[in-house]
Amino acid sequence: MLLIGHELIPSTPFYRVDSVDQIAKTPSNATILFNFDPTLIAYCSTQKLSFALHVKQIKELVLANALGASYFVVDKTLALHAQKVADDYLFEGKVLLLSNDDNDIEFAASHTIDGILFESAITSSLS
């Protein structure tokens, strides 16, 4: 299980962005995080950048996989269904439960969620 941003485990931060200009300001080894946006997805794919999508429905999850997202960041309400779809269709990307609560480790582990992205690992958008 991936634990990205847990205080005891070193990890590379995710950078929340809203535009191509903000992507250009992130470190080269960054994982870029944004809501489903075809323009940003196309840019990341063209530039061969690792990106994570905050998906809010299964349709976005399936499209995110087809478009090459490395991570699918989901809320607790979607986590179980998203993980089942990802497992059934052998997605290459990982489903990450967005959390700020250590207690979600037990939830994620008992439901075989790929990992947790703790909110502390997310750097706000760059101006």
The pLDDT tens digits for 79-107 are: 999 999 999 999 999 999 999 999 999 99
- What's the pLDDT band for 124 if we cut at 50, 70, 90? confident
The domain over range 2-123 is classified in CATH as 3.20.20.70? yes
Question: Looking at the predicted structure, is the pLDDT value of residue 127 above 70?
Answer: no
- What's the pLDDT band for 30 if we cut at 50, 70, 90? confident
Write down the pLDDT at residue 125: 60
**Position 39: which residue type?**
T
Contacts of 32 (CB under 8 A, 6+ apart): 14, 15, 17, 23, 26, 40, 44, 49, 50, 51, 52
Domain boundaries in the chain? 2-123
Proportion of the chain above pLDDT 70, given as a percent: 98
Q: Give this prediction's pTM.
A: 0.95
Q: Where on the phi/psi map is residue 44: left (φ > 0), alpha (ψ -120 to 50), or beta?
A: alpha
Contacts of 44 (CB under 8 A, 6+ apart): 23, 32, 50, 51, 68
